[in-house]
């Protein structure tokens, strides 16, 4: 469903994403892990067609995102990490606007809006301007907007940020069901628990390159990690040994 | 605990400013700098030149000559103070209550006085820099005419600085009180309307008074009354008058320390009082400012009216247009500018009507046509200013939401199309009304009426395209205030390009109009010659090119946006 071929992104001389190739088949929840600044968000934004790759290409369901952007994007729902939405639209108006961007209108859209607002407990807020929403509510609204046109794949950057535990649990269930029905989810996350619990496959990115990929057990096997937790494996692969020095940084306490 | 210095609190601001300069230089900003220096230099030279001539002429007039320059300076500085109070009130709302750095500063152990002084300084700088720059050629003209010498510059700075501090303190205090009464977001709405309404009212009042009548000698009943009026101070309790007195005293070699002492001691007292008010009210006001303006909106009206009218459009375009209209009318800082616009249109029509073309002697055919033709340029300029305000920021305002537009299957051409027509249609209607009504007031011939309306239509389409394109080429995605976008470098380049277009189109058409007026003057048969058709075609081609080429450039630029 999602295929990245030799994807590279340079910012001036800085290599943000370095020749990444991977394939995410239909019905898979794929997690992209990595330390801050590893290139996860850049990769996701290239998949969503927001950034142009310096080299390589992104295929969504066979369509190149930058050659046939419209047909590729029809399949996609994108959830960014920062929930910027139009402050002066109401929640319902925003969802109607997004549905319109995907060419959808009419009663079916109205029913879908009501359904999504209900699921995310935003019904009582639907006629209120977004400027009055909290961070978490905006995040829920954006997630609803990514689902409104019933996409085939969802690309999501840090899905759990800003969500309360109930909404986080709901989102996990939605993603699992979505994948269970043949959808594809490609997500970046810092939360190793989330990745371990939810993802069928993971890729660990470091300095713009994939340093490990496969199922969690595949990655353990590849790196002879035995029964090590994903956290230990992550730290080993991303050079997190300095964490040991944390105690020294924190000092002896107040 | 040792408090951080004021410079330290302000550090992020000046470091950001320096970094921006570095980035500009790295991006090859020399061209920008050259344009800015040229335009700024030309403006300064213009203001200096006009004032120099007036002052020079006045110096040679007996009796009144020495009195008027002082009075004039007092009035100029008074108008500066009024502008400064308004702009400080609006700026203080952002810097004291809505700025992004406030969470950090308020949560840090920075004492109230440092916070006040840092934010007061920030407000003063943001709202006064334009006035301060404007004062330079004015005071230079005074200095040169009165041979003030180099030391005059220093003295003028001494007189002007406290005059800038006072409105800043007053503006901040007014905002502080208002925020304590209304929530900040509501205050911003309220202030935009009050400020623009007040500005509009002042312009209207000034115009209706007809100041040009004062220039008629028969208007003065008694010269002595006028001299007495000039000798007396305009407003003895206002700092503008003290500053004018201090400056004129120095220039006339009658140095009196009182005005300067008044200025500085009042400034110091105001800062102290302002700080005390800040200590008493800021914490409470800041808390209130965090409250969102709760407003439930059904939004059905737009859907039923504009939505139904646009039923023939594809859904994506329709939703986009609807969204743009809703955002415009729900943002008070945007729609309130319409008040000023309405006032300017009224003043414009009033001016045309007040022209002495139809008084006494028979109407000069030549003058009517000349005014009607030149009116096209003026109306074009007015439309360009409106386009700079409303169309130029259109793409910048999408900045934060561009993730959505770029990740959705929305064709960028549809986005550009929506932005273009949402801006162009009202502008076109306004342009045609402005031209039609002024021509009707001038009682022009049908030939001039048709020519004017057609030219205005062509120019409006091109001006909108240029505004949208320059807004796309020089986007301001990070700005929080739409009203600041047109004053950016891109806005300046847009205005310069539009003026060039107006000159080119009107220059082309002037040949056709000349042929027409000449034939009428000579009493020959008036007809449309092949040569005239040639000029019309060329003007139409210019407008078409100025519409299509920029829009294509905007599309290409938009495709290359990265977020």
* Predicted pLDDT at B226: 57
B345 and B321 in a common domain:
no
Domain membership of residue A107 as a residue range: 84-149
Question: In chain B, what residues touch A129 (CB-CB under 8 Å)?
Answer: 293, 295, 297, 330
CB contacts, 8 Å: A103 with chain B: 314-316, 409
Indicate if A160 and A237 belong to the same structural domain.
yes
Nearest-by-CA chain A residue for B408: A73
Q: How confident is the model at residue B217 (pLDDT cuts 50, 70, 90)?
A: very low
B101 occurs within a structural domain:
yes
**Tally of domains within chain A:** 2
Residues A135 and A10 in one domain: no
Rounded to whole angstroms, the Cα distance separating A188 from A165 reads 18
Residues B343 and B435 in one domain: yes
Assess: ipTM above 0.85.
no
Last residue of a domain, one of B289, B313, B345: B289
Per DSSP, the residues of B187-208 read HHHHHHHHHHHHHHHHHHHHHH
Distances (CA, A) of B335 to A129, B187, B199, B328, B339: 17, 15, 15, 6, 8
Are A97 and B296 an interchain contact pair (Cβ–Cβ within 8 Å)?
Answer: no
B21 lies in some domain? no
- State whether B403 and A48 contact (CB < 8 Å): yes
Q: Give the closest of A98, A103, A104 to B404, CB-based.
A: A98
Pair B102, B208 in one domain: yes
| A95 shares its domain with A165 | no
Task: Give the gap in angstroms from C-alpha A215 to the nearest C-alpha of chain B.
Answer: 28
Residues B110 and B174 in one domain: yes
CA distance B480 to B483: 9
Question: How close, in Å, is residue B400 to chain A by CA atoms?
Answer: 6
Q: Are A66 and A167 members of one domain? A: yes
Best residue in B399, B409, B557 for a mutation probing chain A (most A CBs within 10 Å): B409
- Indicate whether B344 and B322 sit together in one domain: no
CATH of the domain at A231: 3.40.50.300
Q: Which of A162-166, A225-229, A233-237, B227-231 has the lowest mean pLDDT?
A: B227-231
3-state DSSP assignment of residue B296: strand
How many CB atoms are closer than 10 A to CB B348?
18
Asked whether residue A91 falls in the same domain as residue A194, the answer is no
Which one of A70, A88, A155 has the shortest CB-CB distance to B409?
A: A70
- Domain tally, chain B: 3
CB-nearest partner of A103 from B316, B402, B407: B316
Residue from B409, B459, B396 nearest B430 by CA: B459
Residues B223 and B344 in one domain: no
On whether any CB of chain A is under 8 Å from the CB of B331, the answer is: yes
- Chain B contacts of A102, Cβ < 8 Å? 316, 408-409
For range B75-83, the mean pLDDT:
84
User: Predicted confidence band at B231 (pLDDT cuts at 50, 70, 90)?
Assistant: low
Same domain, A57 and A161: yes
Give the bridge partners for A33, in sequence order: A189, A204
Contacts of B92 (CB under 8 A, 6+ apart): B119, B123, B168, B171, B172, B174, B175, B176
Contact B407 A101 (CB under 8 A): no
B367/B349 same-domain check: yes
Structural domain of B304: 296-330
Average pLDDT of the residues of chain B: 82
- Predicted confidence at residue B270, as pLDDT, reads 96
Q: Percent of chain B having pLDDT more than 70? A: 85
B403 to A80: CB separation less than 8 angstroms, yes or no: yes
CB contact under 8 A, B295 and A128: yes
pLDDT of residue B472: 93
CA distance B38 to B34: 6
Q: Is B308 on the interface with A (CB under 8 A)?
A: no
Q: Which residues of B touch A84 (CB under 8 A)?
A: 400-401, 403
Measured CA to CA, the distance from residue B13 to residue B122 in angstroms comes to 9
**In this predicted structure, what is the pLDDT of residue B1?**
63
Give B277 to chain A, closest Cα distance, Å: 30
Nearest to B408 among A71, A96, A101 (CB): A101
Same-domain status, B280 and B369: no
pLDDT at B215: 47
A14, A43, A65, A100: best mutation site toward chain B, by most B Cβ within 10 Å?
A100
**Residue B143, in any domain of the structure:** yes
CB B487 within 8 A of CB B385: no
Structure tokens at A111: 């029913």
Contact A69 B314 (CB under 8 A): no
pLDDT in tens, A8-53: 998 878 899 999 999 999 999 999 988 888 899 999 989 988 888 9
B407: chain A residues, CB-CB within 8 Å = 48-50, 73, 76, 78, 155
Residues of A in contact with B330 (CB under 8 A): 88, 129
What pLDDT, in 10s, does the model give residues B352-372?
777 766 554 545 677 778 888
- CA dist B191 to A7, A87, A147, B92, B206, Å? 50, 19, 40, 11, 22
Chain A residues closer than 8 Å to B295 by CB: 128-129, 132
Once rounded to an integer, what is the mean pLDDT over residues B115-144? 91
pLDDT digits over B365-391, tens only? 777 788 888 888 888 988 998 899 889
Instruction: Give chain A's contact residues with B (Cβ, < 8 Å).
Output: 45, 48-52, 69-74, 76, 78, 80, 84-86, 88-90, 92-93, 96-105, 127-129, 131-132, 145, 155
Is B52 within the bounds of a domain? Answer: yes
A45/A169 same-domain check: yes
Is it the case that residue B297 has pLDDT exceeding 80? no
pLDDT value of residue B360? 47
Query: Mind telling me how many Å the CA of A46 is from chain B's nearest CA?
Result: 9
B312 vs A: CB within 8 A: no
Q: Are residues A48 and A162 in the same domain?
A: yes
**Chain B nearest C-alpha distance from A222 (Å):** 35
Whether residue B230 lies inside any domain: the answer is yes
Residues B447 and B322 in one domain: no
Band (pLDDT 50/70/90 cuts) for residue B296 is low
Over the Cα atoms of chain B, what is R_g? Answer: 27
Same domain membership, residue B342 and residue B310: no
Confidence tier at A116 by pLDDT (50, 70, 90):
very high
In a domain, B3, yes or no: no
Residues forming a β-bridge with A10: A15
Contacts of A45 in chain B (CB under 8 A): 403, 563
CA A77 to chain B, closest CA, distance in angstroms equals 8
Q: Is residue B79 in a domain?
A: yes
Instruction: Return the number of other C-beta atoms located less than 10 Å from residue B180's C-beta.
Output: 18
- Kindly tell me if the per-residue pLDDT of B209 is higher than 70: no
Strand bridging mode A184-189 / A14-24: unpaired
Residue B409 and residue B277 share a domain: no
Of the listed ranges A26-30, B63-67, B434-438, the one predicted with least confidence: B63-67
**Statement: residue B31 has pLDDT above 80:** no
From A32-46, A190-204, B13-27, B452-466, the region with the lowest mean pLDDT: B13-27
């Amino acid at each position: 469903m999602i295929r990245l071929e030799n994807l590279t992104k340079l910012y001036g001389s800085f290599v943000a994403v370095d020749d990444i190739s991977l394939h995410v088949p239909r019905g898979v929840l794929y997690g992209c892990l990595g330390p801050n600044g590893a290139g996860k968000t850049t990769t996701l934004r290239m998949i969503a067609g927001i950034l142009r790759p310096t080299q390589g290409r992104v295929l969504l369901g066979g369509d190149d995102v930058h050659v046939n952007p419209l047909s590729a994007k029809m399949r996609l729902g994108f959830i960014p990490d920062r929930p910027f939405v139009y402050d002066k639209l109401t929640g319902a108006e925003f969802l109607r606007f997004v549905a319109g961007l995907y060419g959808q209108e009419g009663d079916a859209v109205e029913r879908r809006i009501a359904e999504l607002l209900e699921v995310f407990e935003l019904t009582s807020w639907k006629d209120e301007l977004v400027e009055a929403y909290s961070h978490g509510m905006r995040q829920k609204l954006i997630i609803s907007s990514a689902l409104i046109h019933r996409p085939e794949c969802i690309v999501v950057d840090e899905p759990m940020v800003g969500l309360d535990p109930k909404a986080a649990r709901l989102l996990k269930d939605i993603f699992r069901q979505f994948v269970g029905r043949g959808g594809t989810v490609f997500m970046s996350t810092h939360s190793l628990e989330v990745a371990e619990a939810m993802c069928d496959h993971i890729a660990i990115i470091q300095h713009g390159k994939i340093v490990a990929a496969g199922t969690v057990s595949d990655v353990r096997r590849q790196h002879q990690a035995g029964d090590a937790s994903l956290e230990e494996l992550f730290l080993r692969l991303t050079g997190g040994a300095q964490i040991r020095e944390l105690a020294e940084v924190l000092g002896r306490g107040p | 605990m040792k408090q951080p210095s004021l410079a330290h609190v302000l550090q992020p601001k000046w470091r950001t400013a320096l970094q921006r300069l570095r980035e500009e230089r790295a991006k090859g900003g020399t061209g920008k700098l050259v344009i800015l220096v040229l335009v700024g230099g030309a403006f300064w030279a213009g203001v200096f030149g006009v004032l120099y001539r007036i002052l020079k002429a006045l110096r040679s007039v007996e009796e009144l000559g020495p009195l008027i320059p002082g009075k004039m300076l007092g009035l100029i500085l008074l108008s500066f103070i009024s502008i400064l109070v308004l702009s400080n009130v609006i700026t203080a709302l952002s810097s004291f209550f809505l700025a992004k750095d406030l969470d950090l500063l308020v949560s840090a152990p920075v004492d109230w006085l440092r916070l006040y002084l840092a934010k007061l300084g920030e407000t003063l700088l943001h709202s006064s820099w334009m006035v301060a720059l404007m004062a330079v050629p004015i005071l230079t003209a005074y200095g040169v005419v009165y041979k003030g010498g180099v030391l005059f510059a220093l003295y003028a700075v001494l007189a002007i600085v406290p005059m800038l501090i006072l409105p800043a303190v007053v503006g901040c205090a007014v905002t502080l009180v208002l925020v304590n009464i209304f929530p900040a977001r509501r205050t911003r709405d309220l202030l935009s309307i009050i400020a623009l309404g007040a500005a509009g009212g002042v312009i209207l009042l000034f115009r209706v008074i007809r100041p040009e009548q004062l220039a008629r000698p028969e208007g003065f009943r008694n010269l002595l009354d006028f001299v007495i009026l000039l000798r007396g101070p305009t407003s003895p309790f206002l700092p503008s008058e003290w500053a004018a007195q201090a400056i004129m005293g120095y220039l006339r070699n009658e140095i009196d320390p009182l005005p300067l002492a008044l200025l500085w001691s009042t400034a110091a007292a105001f800062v102290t009082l302002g700080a005390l008010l800040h200590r008493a009210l800021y914490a409470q006001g800041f808390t209130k400012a965090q409250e969102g303006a709760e407003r439930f909106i059904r939004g059905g009206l737009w859907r039923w009216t504009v939505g139904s009218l646009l039923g023939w459009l594809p859904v994506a375009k329709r939703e986009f247009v609807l969204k743009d209209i809703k955002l415009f009318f729900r943002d008070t800082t945007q729609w309130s500018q319409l008040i000023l616009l309405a006032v300017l249109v009224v003043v414009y029509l009033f001016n045309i009507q007040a022209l002495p073309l139809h008084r006494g002697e028979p109407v000069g055919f030549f003058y009517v046509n000349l005014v009607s033709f030149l009116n096209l340029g003026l109306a074009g300029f007015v439309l360009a200013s409106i386009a700079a305000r409303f169309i130029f920021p259109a793409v910048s305002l999408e900045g934060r939401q561009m993730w959505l537009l770029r990740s959705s299957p929305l064709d960028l051409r549809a986005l550009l199309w929506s932005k273009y027509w949402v801006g162009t249609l009202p502008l076109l209607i306004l342009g045609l009304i402005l031209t039609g009504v002024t021509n009707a007031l001038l009682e022009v011939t049908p030939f001039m009426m048709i020519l004017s309306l057609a030219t205005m239509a062509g120019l409006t389409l091109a001006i909108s395209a240029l505004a949208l394109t320059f807004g796309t080429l020089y986007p301001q995605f990070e700005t929080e205030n739409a009203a600041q976008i047109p004053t950016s470098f891109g806005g300046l380049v847009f205005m310069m390009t539009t003026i060039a277009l107006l000159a080119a189109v009107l220059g082309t058409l002037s040949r056709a109009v000349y042929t027409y007026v000449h034939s009428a003057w000579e009493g020959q048969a008036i007809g449309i010659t092949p040569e005239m058709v040639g000029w019309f075609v060329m003007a139409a081609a210019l407008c078409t090119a100025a519409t299509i080429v920029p829009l294509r450039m905007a599309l290409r630029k938009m495709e290359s946006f990265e977020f």
